[in-house]
A and B are shown apart, each in its own frame.
Chain A
Amino acid sequence: MIERERANRRLTLRLFGVALAAFAFGFALVPLYDVLCDITGVGNQKNLLKASVALSHPDETRTVTVEFVADLPSVGNWEFAPVVTSMEVHPGRLYEVDFVAHNLTGRDTVAQAVPSIAPGKATAYFRKTECFCFTPQSFKKDEQRNMPVRFVVDPALPKYLDRITLAYTFYDNTTRTAALN
Chain B
Amino acid sequence: MANTAHADHAHDHHDHKPHGLKRWLYATNHKDIGTMYLVFACIMFFGGGAMALVIRAELFQPGLQFVDPSFFNSMTTMHALLMIFGGVMPAWTGLANWMVPMQVGAPDMALPRLNNFSFWLLPFAFTLLLGTLFVPGGAPAGGWTLYPPLVLQGGDSFPFTIFAIHLMGISSILGAINVVVTILNMRAPGMGLLQMPLFCWTWLITAYLLIAVMPVLAGAVTMLLTDHFFGTTFFTASGGGDPVMFQHIFWFFGHPEVYILILPAFGVVSEIIPTFSRKPLFGYESMVYATASIAFLSFIVWAHHMFTVGMPLAGQLFFMLSTMLIAIPTGVKVFNWCATMWKGSISFETPMLFALAFLFLFTIGGFSGLMLAIAPADFQYHDTYFVVAHFHYVLVPGAVFSIMAGVYYWLPKWCGRMYNERLGKAHFWLSVIGVNVLFFPQHFLGLAGMPRRIPDYSTQFADWNMVSSIGAFIFGFSQLLFVAAIWNAVRSGEKAPQRPWEGATGLDWELPTPAPYHSWETPPAANILPKPGH
Contact = CB atoms under 8 A, between A and B. Distances in A.
Interface of A: 4, 7-8, 11-12, 15-16, 18-20, 22-27, 29-30, 33, 40-43, 45, 48-49, 52
Given A15-B211, A33-B245, A43 B310 contact: yes
B216 A30 contact: no
Contacts of A18: 211-212
A52 to B, nearest CB: 6
B252 A29 contact: yes
B219 A52 contact: no
A25 B256 CA distance: 15
Interface in B94-131: 110-111, 114
B218 interface: yes
Nearest to A42: B312
Given A8-B185, A18-B211, A26-B219, A42 B242 contact: no
Contacts of A4: 185-186
B173 A45 contact: no
A5 to B, nearest CB: 9
A161 B214 CA distance: 55
Nearest to A40: B312
Contacts of B185: 4, 7-8, 11
A15 B118 CA distance: 15
B272 to A, nearest CB: 30
Interface string B435-471: 0000000000000000000000000000000000000
Given A11-B185, A42-B312, A49 B240 contact: yes
B294 interface: no
Contacts of A12: 110-111, 114, 177, 181
B181 A15 contact: yes
A116 B216 CA distance: 50
Nearest to A18: B211
25 contacts: A4-B186, A8-B186, A11-B180, A11-B181, A11-B184, A11-B185, A15-B177, A16-B177, A19-B173, A22-B213, A22-B215, A26-B217, A26-B219, A29-B216, A29-B245, A29-B248, A29-B252, A30-B234, A30-B245, A33-B249, A41-B312, A43-B242, A43-B310, A48-B237, A52-B238
B220 interface: yes
Nearest to B180: A15
B311 interface: yes
B185, B213, B214, B315: which has the most chain A beta carbons within 10 Å? B185
B240 A8 contact: no
Q: Is the interface of B mostly helix, strand, loop or mixed?
A: helix
A90 to B, nearest CB: 21
Interface in B208-230: 211-220, 223
Interface residues of B, number: 38
B245 A8 contact: no
A18 B217 CA distance: 15
A151 B466 CA distance: 53
A27 B242 contact: no
Contacts of A26: 215-220, 249, 253
A20 B215 contact: yes
A40 B220 contact: no
B216 A25 contact: yes
B142 to A, nearest CB: 20
Contact of A19 (B177, B184, B244, B311): B177
Contacts of A27: 219, 223
Contacts of A45: 240, 242
B186 to A, nearest CB: 8
Contacts of B110: 8, 12
A87 B238 CA distance: 29
Contacts of A42: 310-312, 315
A125 to B, nearest CB: 21
Contacts of A41: 312
B314 to A, nearest CB: 8
Nearest to B245: A33
Interface string B250-292: 0011000000000000000000000000000000000000000
Contacts of A49: 240
A43 B173 CA distance: 34
A134 B244 CA distance: 27
B234 A8 contact: no
A50 B15 CA distance: 71
Nearest to A23: B215
Nearest to A16: B177
A22 B176 CA distance: 14
Interface in B181-214: 181, 184-186, 211-214
A27 B184 CA distance: 30
Nearest to B218: A23
Nearest to A56: B238
Instruction: Name the 10 nearest CB pairs between A and B, nearest first.
Output: A26-B219, A23-B215, A22-B215, A26-B216, A15-B177, A8-B110, A49-B240, A33-B245, A11-B181, A19-B215
Contacts of B240: 45, 48-49, 52
A63 B249 CA distance: 45
Contacts of A25: 215-216, 219
Nearest to B173: A19
Contacts of A19: 173, 177, 211, 214-215
Interface string B292-327: 000000000000000000111011000000000000
A35 to B, nearest CB: 12
Contacts of A20: 215
A152 to B, nearest CB: 16
B185 to A, nearest CB: 5
Contacts of B180: 11, 15
Contacts of A16: 177
Nearest to B208: A18
B370 to A, nearest CB: 26
Given A11-B181, A12-B111, A40-B315, 6 more contacts: A4-B186, A8-B111, A12-B177, A23-B219, A25-B215, A42-B310
Contacts of A30: 223, 234, 245, 249
A11, A24, A49, A52: which has the most chain B beta carbons within 10 Å? A11
A62 B110 CA distance: 72
A45 B240 CA distance: 7
